[in-house]
């Protein structure tokens, strides 16, 4: 005759609880992916088009100094780049702003719907405004700065190596194509995709947090939990955040972040619950 000990039952219950938790986490992650992929794909496609336009504009400006390229390109590059990218930067701000607003709204509404809370969330909410206001302009400053530094390196390397204008122009064209199209076999294939995944992800998580704070304002005590993707590519900082377990809504995680994403392309998401629930 076989007897089941109390220890065995405790272990069975723990394993069952863990299995349920994993299932809930998997469903939550799939739900977030389903919500974000259309926004990410649309933004990626629009950014890719802008990168292609920007590359042509930079090459056109650079072509004006073709006859004295090696003498002046290095000293004149910053002004040339800024002039060439004026229109594309403005367009990038517009598409980022609309995409970010859509992701913040989707994130806030999704969380409130999941909790069946009787509160409203819109882009006029002060917590949503705090994130979306001027965010796109700040983001494009960083994007343009990274692009300028990268293209400048190509120009300076060409001048240092004694390359012709045509050779440098070909390298710049190739780099902008890489920005837009990238390498298909990679998880994040291109810079356009990386920007889209990061900005939409950040905005959705900001919307989630804003929605949770709206519910907290209405009297619900909320907690949050940093959920990693659980594979061997998770950074130590993200693992540490998950190890924090459930923390109060307004507390920072171990990394100092309020919510994911910790860095561009981070795959973590935030979970929320009412304090005291399991």
Q: What is the mean pLDDT of the chain?
A: 89
User: Has residue 95 got a pLDDT over 70?
Assistant: yes
pTM above 0.75, yes or no: yes
HEC letters along the chain = CCCCCHHHHHHHHHHHHHHHHHHHHHHHHHHHHHHHHHHHHHHHHHHHHHHHHHHHHHHHHHHCCHHHHHHHHHHHHHHHHHHHCHHHHHHHHHHHHHHHHHHHHHHHHHHHHHCCCCCCCCCCCHHHHHHHCCHHHHHHHHHHHHHHHHHHHHHHHHHHCCCCHHHHHHHHHHHHHHHHCCCCCCCCCCHHHHHHHHHHHHHHHHHHHHHHHHHHHCCCCEEEEEECCCCCCCCHHHHHHHHCCCEECCCCCCCCCCCCCCCCCCCCEEEEEECCCC
| Location of structure tokens 């002046």 | 72
pLDDT at 13: 47
- Whether the per-residue pLDDT at 7 is higher than 60: the answer is no
What pLDDT score was predicted for residue 241?
98
Read off the pLDDT of each residue in 42-55 and give the average, rounded to a whole number. 97
pLDDT at 71: 87
State pLDDT tens for residues 210-220: 999 999 999 99
Give 183's contacts (C-beta < 8 A, 6+ positions apart).
189, 190
Q: What is the set of domains in the chain, with CATH numbers?
A: 35-220 (1.20.120), 221-278 (no CATH)
Tell me the CA distances in angstroms from 138 to 93, 150, 264, 266, one per residue in order: 9, 19, 15, 20
What average pLDDT does range 53-58 have in this prediction?
A: 97
* 8 — pLDDT class (breaks 50, 70, 90): low
Contacts of 77 (CB under 8 A, 6+ apart): 151, 152, 155
In the predicted model, what is the mean pLDDT of residues 130-148? Answer: 94
pLDDT digits (tens, 9 = 90+) for 100-122: 999 999 999 999 999 999 999 99
What is the rounded CA–CA span in Å between residue 271 and residue 278? 12
- pLDDT for res 184: 60
CA torsion sign, 146 to 140 to 226 to 223?
Answer: positive
Q: pLDDT > 90: what percent of the chain?
A: 77
Nearest in space to 47 (alpha carbons), one of 181, 185, 187, 183: 181
- The answer on pLDDT for 20 being more than 70 is no
């Amino acid at each position: 005759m076989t007897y089941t000990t109390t220890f065995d039952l405790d272990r069975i219950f723990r394993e069952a609880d863990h299995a349920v938790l994993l299932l809930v986490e998997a469903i939550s992650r799939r739900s977030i992916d389903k919500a974000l992929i259309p926004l990410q794909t649309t933004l990626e496609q629009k950014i890719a088009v802008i990168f292609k336009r920007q590359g042509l504009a930079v090459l056109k400006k650079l072509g004006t100094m073709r006859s004295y390229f090696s003498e002046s390109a290095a000293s004149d590059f910053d002004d040339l780049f800024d002039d060439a990218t004026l229109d594309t930067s403005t367009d990038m701000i517009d598409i980022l702003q609309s995409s970010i607003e859509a992701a913040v709204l989707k994130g806030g509404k999704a969380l409130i719907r999941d909790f069946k809370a009787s509160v409203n969330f819109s882009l006029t909410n002060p917590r949503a405004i705090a994130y979306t206001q001027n965010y796109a302009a700040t983001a494009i400053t960083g994007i343009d700065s990274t692009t300028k530094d990268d293209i400048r390196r190509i120009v300076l390397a060409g001048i240092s190596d004694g390359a012709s204008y045509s050779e440098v122009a070909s390298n710049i064209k190739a780099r902008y194509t890489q920005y837009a199209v990238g390498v298909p076999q990679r998880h994040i294939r291109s810079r356009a995709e990386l920007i889209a995944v990061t900005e939409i992800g950040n905005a959705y998580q900001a919307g989630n947090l804003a929605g949770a704070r709206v519910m907290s304002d209405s009297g619900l005590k909320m907690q949050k939990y940093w959920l990693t993707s659980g594979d061997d590519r998770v950074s130590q900082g993200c693992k540490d955040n998950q190890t924090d377990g459930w923390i109060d809504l307004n507390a920072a995680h171990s990394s100092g972040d309020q919510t994911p994403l910790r860095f561009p392309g981070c795959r973590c998401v935030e979970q929320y619950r009412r304090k005291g629930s399991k």
